Amino acid sequence: MSNNNSDMGMSWADQLAALGPVIDRLLKIWRPEGATPAERQDMNKLALSILSEGYLCRVYTDANRPVFMPLWNYAFNQGGPSPDYVYSTTEVASDGVYRISGYRGTSRFIEITQQTFDMMSPSQVDNGSRVPATHDLDDLALGADGYFSVVLSAERPSGHSGDWWQLDPETCRLLMRKCSCDWNHELDASVAIERLDDKGSDMTPEDISRRFADLPQWIEGMIGFDMHLVRFYREHHGVNTFLRSTKIDSIGGLPTQAYYDGIHEIEDDEALIIETELPKKVRYWQALVADDRFATVDWVNRQSSLNDVQAHIDSDGKFRAVISRTDPGVPNWLDKADVPWGMIQMRWNHASDFPDPTMIKVPVADVRQYLPADTPVVTPADRKERLSVRREGAQLRRIW
């Protein structure tokens, strides 16, 4: 936390001045050898997006008057967000009594995870944190119209016979993931949260000042965390390889999900080919590419991710994807854009088994030699149409 959190007298100019050095400190981590003007502007853009996110998720909401606010998405692109997830968060007090309610929708699943950390420290990568519980809306009683209501509290309220989730004594925040695979047709859940034991207290001026003063640390902590994490994977997983991650299990990843993480670093005339069996049973799976700050490559305007609905499965039952800068004319292209190097991630959710993907580097001109002969050809016109459908579907998601 900031040293002057209790100082409600900080002026607007003082608060803005505290934000001033943030970019230079982040650039020293990202580009210690010196950033180009384009890279500096790119970091400016990322920091501004996390500042906007910080107002919604750090300054606006509090545990007394909770609201699920948008966290990671295509505008707040940080943390390697899965394009299939809509992420929202709210603070909670461990001694509070909350009601979470709304309409289930038709998306693949909705999970709400209790978190014990405050999301503002790169040391989280090294130290890890406990995830007390992940709750699934499909475990609740749903009305004919999909309506649900569940109480979240340390102890079941006296006389309450409906759905109840136990609130851990260390929980300070909830993270909600709404998963949709058919972006153009599935309907996202509508979810509200209310503190039932609210004493009617508004946020004090001291609280507002303290939270405003937290924003420099929010920006540096959030972005620094992921730059640190990517470099951890580069050091421990290697380059152009793929390994199942145990690290993400200890720092807030879904306990119901197996993550595979790697680093891509190829020339413009090279490609990486991912090949994997699929689990015999799996609720959801997906692959994505991101940059070296773990910002997922623009998934609205580029095919930088594929899920189990979007992907083409080969005739032998395997999933194969091609990572490259230029379009190889195959269905499962993962467009890395102009990113010099960055992250590759796959995930199996609620899987019966966990196949290990393999990866090889080949000339992009020779990609088809390494794919089944019946791999469809995707023409430039086909790609344009696919991207148009993708662009529409991404914007139909309820991220705000």
Burial 214-247 (b: 16+ CB within 10 A, else e): bbbbbbbbbbbbbbbbbebbbeebeebbbebbeb
* 82, 16: one domain: yes
- Domain check: are 57 and 24 in the same one? yes
Find where tokens 């290697």 sit: 238
Amino acid at 96: G
Does one domain contain both 175 and 248? no
Beta bridge partners of 242: 262
Q: How many domains does the chain have?
A: 2
Q: Residue 251: what pLDDT?
A: 73
222: in domain: no
Do 179 and 36 share a structural domain? yes
- Among 169, 197, 217, the domain-final residue is 217
HSE toward the beta carbon, residue 379, CA cutoff 13 A: 2
CA 73 to CA 83: how far, in whole Å?
7
Instruction: Centre a 10 Å sphere on the Cβ of residue 334 and count the other Cβ atoms it contains.
Output: 22
On whether residue 6 sits in a domain, the answer given is no
Look at residue 232 and tell me if it is in a domain.
Answer: yes
CB of 103 closer than 8 Å to CB of 319: no
Are 39 and 173 in a shared domain?
yes
End of a domain among 217, 252, 282? 217
Question: Looking at the structure, do residues 208 and 302 belong to the same domain, yes or no?
Answer: no
Residue 36 lies in a domain: yes
Rounded CA-CA distance 27/43 in Å is 8
Q: Tell me how far apart the alpha carbons of residues 78 and 5 are, in angstroms, rounded to a whole number.
A: 25
pLDDT tens for the chain, 400 residues long, are 444 444 566 889 999 999 999 999 999 999 999 999 999 999 999 999 999 999 999 999 889 999 999 999 999 999 899 999 999 999 999 999 999 999 999 999 999 999 998 766 655 556 667 789 999 999 999 999 999 999 999 999 999 999 999 999 999 999 999 999 999 999 999 999 999 997 767 888 888 999 999 999 999 999 999 999 999 999 999 999 989 988 777 776 777 889 999 999 999 999 999 999 999 999 999 999 999 999 999 999 999 999 999 999 999 999 999 999 999 999 999 999 999 999 999 999 999 999 999 999 999 999 999 999 999 999 999 999 999 999 999 999 988 8
Residues 258 and 211 in one domain: no
CA atoms within 13 A on the CB side of 187: 8
pLDDT value, residue 35: 96
Domain ranges, residue 378:
227-396
Q: Which two tokens stand for residue 350?
A: 């609620």
C-alpha–C-alpha distance, residues 398 and 263, integer Å: 31
Instruction: State both tokens at 232.
Output: 């951890």
**Is the residue at 131 inside a domain?**
yes
- Give the count of beta carbons closer than 10 Å to the beta carbon of residue 333: 23
126 and 258 housed in the same domain: no
Check: CB of residue 304 under 8 Å from CB of residue 88.
Answer: no
* pLDDT at res. 117: 81
Residues 177 and 244 in one domain: no
Burial grade of 369 (CB within 10 A; 0-12, 13-18, 19 or more): exposed
Residues 269 and 189 in one domain: no
Q: Is 2 within the bounds of a domain?
A: no
Q: Is residue 333 included in any domain, yes or no?
A: yes
* DSSP, res 57: I
**Pair of tokens at residue 380:** 């430039």
CATH of the domain at 371: 2.60.120.1600
Q: Is residue 3 part of a domain?
A: no
On whether both 287 and 147 belong to a single domain, the answer is: no
Listed residues 217, 252, 272: the one ending a domain: 217
67 in the same domain as 150? yes
